[in-house]
Structure 1
Amino acid sequence: MRAPYASDPEASRGRLVPEEESTFRSCFQRDRDRIIHASAFRRLKHKTQVFVEHEGDNYRTRLTHSIEVAQVARTIAGALKLNVELTEAVALAHDLGHTPFGHTGEDALHALMAPFGGFDHNAQAIRIVTRLERHYADFDGLNLTWETLEAIAKHNGPVVAPLPWALAEANGEYDLELGTHAGPEAQVAALSDDIAYNNHDLHDGLRAGLFTDADIAHLPIVRDSYAEVDARYPGLHWNRRRHEAMRRVFGAMVSDVIATSEHLLAKAAPARVEDIRALDHPVIRFSDRLWRDLQEIRAFLFEHMYRAPPVMEKRAEVTDVVRDLFPFFLVHPGELPERWHNDVAAAGDETALARIVSDYIAGMTDRFALLEHDRLILSRRCAG
């Protein structure tokens, strides 16, 4: 039984291109399934979360991260009696627009695209699901429902001017009401993203040897989790001890979001999903206390993981890959794969061409970007 303010598939605002409804699946279930079957979703398995994808088989990639976010989001949405299918669709789609090499690749591409409108991975996700996936006979993109598009665009909150160009372009067709908060399912997906990366970045940092269990023993949430494990399982092997502690960190964050959000929803007393969009604040949140704790954890990770010397060395290396590939394709657009040639031929100016090149590079996996850099850049330097 869903809450009255949950998104109702029967009341969906529909798709840009009308389609016959499925006999067995709701419109939000179909959106979720189309996202799972999208080429961009498959490519996430070879895209960086923090560590470059080929550095180790046990580190998170964008794909495993998205699956973890979806698992958390389903739990929270179910507890709050929201629409689980829509929540899961947004969680699975939220990172579709990421470049190779994670935020490092995004920073590099944004700087290169500065003269042409910049680059934003959230806006790129909308571009992928509305234009760049080209498999269906009747439309470009995935022809998702308005609610799913709105949730992907606004899961981090209202989007204010100046809009990223890719989002402004899509909004011209769909009017996603970017100045308001998204529905509660999108808000759940956003918090689930925070929960997943806070937990797994600690876990991956430990696995990588960037810090030890003792180094994080003072951190809030983590401290209590290890203490609980030690009290219940004295002398436990370090690997099991770590796993038990990390799952308790996960659980503490999920429980806090559910309890805090139940209180905020009861206080707002929304009668329908539109009432949540009309509020001037989100209704899915961490408590103030836990949010402060998470800021302390993030500060630790920033110093000891995101800015660790081995990570910074790799950041510099992969930044050069993006910086080399972008101008190369601007000068040699014929080197783009054949499926892009019609787009290049239709490009009216340098901005249009740069955006095509940006789309292509953003869609690359880590390993493909490295291979293309070897083939197109390094091999020519050696030959020269």
Structure 2
Amino acid sequence: MDGARPQSERPAGVRWRAPHAADPGASRGRRVAERSAPTRNEFQRDRDRIVHSTAFRRLEYKTQVFLNHEGDLFRTRLTHSIEVAQIARSIARSLGLDEDLVEAVSLAHDLGHTPFGHAGQDALNECMRGHGGFEHNLQSLRVVDELEQRYGGFDGLNLCFETREGILKHCSAANARRLGELGERFLLGRQPSLEAQVANLADEIAYNNHDVDDGLRSGLITLDQLLEVELFARHARAARGEFPDIAGRRLVHETVRRMINDLVVDLLDETGRRISDAAPDSVDAVRAAPALVAFSDGMRVRSAELKRFLHRELYRHERVMQVMARAREVVHCLFDAFIADTSRLPDAHRERAELLGPRAIADYIAGMTDRFALRELQRLGLPGAGEPWPWAGV
């Protein structure tokens, strides 16, 4: 069928809809029923609500790898989410999937992320041990279901089931049981829509490649080191073969661009093959099938090598670890201060803490940007508030 043809055989830029694509006219609906919009379908409406949300704007000042003050050109959670959406939309268009749904999921997937990247998440999870823990993926769902306050008729953004399904990439059995219909697939071993699967792997493509770019820009990893990693080295050689005098940032950008293209084309071809074999004729058939959006075995090996390199040489670099250790201290200090005395919270959050306990405090801290968390540390007069931060990048 046409949806299974290799990427190279499809006409570029042509929009078409596969029978197994999510259909905004056949959505499972919203938690609170609403009248349809006159100018937008349901998934377009979800995307627009996400873009206009407070949580989305906060992503501009939330860490990806390097803190916001370390440089104007490093990625933030916002620029990362935009890059994920761009890659995901391109993939969705080639596969005949719903571009608006895949964009909505991509833009929303990090809405619940804490300040200070994964260090902030780990610290908040430690603080919430004994209170249900903390996981940014569940927090993203909590943001769109409860925490955004923009509408008179409901809490949250009241997104479609399909968008919420895509946001929830991971979930424990205990949490899944509390989520009703949305959690069923984790208990039954079923898959989300193809659009959700695409957004998940577009996230992986985006962060691996932009972390290479940011790592080189920071000076914490070098071009010579990366030339020992097959996926990078292959495309650097190709770039130099086509442009013998290329060097510096131009070589980096040309190599990263080729890596992204290689990953996307591989994913399209492998996914097309799997769709052809499974022949799903509906979204329900997709949910009952094994995962259909995937890389080839060879690409998974090459991608895993790059991930190991980044983890070893960038994420675990001594200078990054020093910054992240300080970030964890900030989160712990804020949480401990608010737990000890909820009167130190702003009025609205204090009222929620009196009703919900530690979960409301976790909500407040998770919603902070990096710089707001530091301002709160100063406002409260907590230890270390005036200390200079270690720097990871140059």
Q: What TM-score, normalized to structure 2?
A: 0.90
Structure 1, 329-338 or 135-144: larger mean CA deviation: 329-338
From 357, 360, 365, give the equivalent of 2:361: 357
On the 8 A contact 1:16/1:174 being kept in 2, the answer is no
Matched, 1:269 2:269: no
Q: Indicate the residue corresponding to 1:195 in structure 2.
A: 205
On the 8 A contact 1:73/1:88 being kept in 2, the answer is yes
From 191, 195, 209, give the equivalent of 1:185: 195
Q: Indicate the residue corresponding to 2:49 in structure 1.
A: 34
* Pairing of 1:292-311 with structure 2 (within 5 A): 292-311=301-320
On the 8 A contact 2:173/2:186 being kept in 1, the answer is no
Structure 1, 62-71 or 175-184: larger mean CA deviation: 175-184
What CA deviation, in whole Å up to 9, does each residue of 1:318-346 have, x standing for no partner?
Answer: 1110111001011221222222243234x
On the 8 A contact 2:235/2:255 being kept in 1, the answer is yes
* Pairing of 1:130-209 with structure 2 (within 5 A): 130-154=145-169, 159-163=171-175, 169=178, 171-172=179-180, 177-179=185-187, 180-209=190-219
What is the rounded CA distance, in whole Å, between the counterparts of 1:31 and 1:178 in structure 2? 23
State the one-letter code of the partner of 1:313: Q
Please give the secondary structure, in 2, of the residue aligned with 1:142.
coil
Q: Indicate the residue corresponding to 2:292 in structure 1.
A: 283
Q: Indicate the residue corresponding to 1:372 in structure 2.
A: 376
From 56, 59, 77, give the equivalent of 1:62: 77
Q: Indicate the residue corresponding to 2:351 in structure 1.
A: 342
* Pairing of 1:77-156 with structure 2 (within 5 A): 77-154=92-169
On the 8 A contact 1:150/1:176 being kept in 2, the answer is no
What is the rounded CA distance, in whole Å, between the counterparts of 1:136 and 1:365 in structure 2? 23
State the one-letter code of the partner of 1:102: G
State the one-letter code of the partner of 2:288: A
What CA deviation, in whole Å up to 9, does each residue of 1:4-57 have, x standing for no partner?
Answer: 000011111111111110111000000000001110010000000011121111
On the 8 A contact 2:239/2:251 being kept in 1, the answer is yes
What CA deviation, in whole Å up to 9, does each residue of 1:308-367 have, x standing for no partner?
Answer: 01101001111110111001011221222222243234x2xxxx3100000000100001
What is the rounded CA distance, in whole Å, between the counterparts of 1:214 and 1:335 in structure 2? 50
On the 8 A contact 2:208/2:307 being kept in 1, the answer is yes
How far off its partner does 1:168 sit? Answer: 5.4
Q: Which runs of 5+ in 1 are unaligned?
A: none
From 315, 320, 323, give the equivalent of 2:324: 315
Please give the secondary structure, in 1, of the residue aligned with 2:155.
coil
How far off its partner does 1:160 sit? Answer: 4.2
On the 8 A contact 2:177/2:184 being kept in 1, the answer is no
How far off its partner does 1:175 sit? Answer: 5.7
Q: How much is the aligned-residue C-alpha RMSD, in angstroms?
A: 1.6
What CA deviation, in whole Å up to 9, does each residue of 1:58-95 have, x standing for no partner?
Answer: 11000000000000000000000001100000000001
Q: 1:112 to 1:160 in 2, by over 3 A?
A: closer
Please give the secondary structure, in 2, of the residue aligned with 1:116.
coil
Q: 1:381 to 1:199 in 2, by over 3 A?
A: closer
State the one-letter code of the partner of 1:162: A
Q: 1:115 to 1:175 in 2, by over 3 A?
A: closer
Q: What TM-score, normalized to structure 1?
A: 0.93
Q: 1:55 to 1:189 in 2, by over 3 A?
A: same
What is the rounded CA distance, in whole Å, between the counterparts of 2:379 and 2:183 in structure 1? 42
On the 8 A contact 1:100/1:362 being kept in 2, the answer is yes
Matched, 1:325 2:334: yes
How far off its partner does 1:152 sit? Answer: 1.1
State the one-letter code of the partner of 2:361: V
State the one-letter code of the partner of 1:198: N
Matched, 1:24 2:39: yes
Please give the secondary structure, in 1, of the residue aligned with 2:38.
coil
From 53, 66, 71, give the equivalent of 2:68: 53
What is the rounded CA distance, in whole Å, between the counterparts of 2:164 and 2:17 in structure 1? 21
How far off its partner does 1:181 sit? Answer: 1.0
Count residues in correspondence. 369
On the 8 A contact 1:5/1:276 being kept in 2, the answer is yes
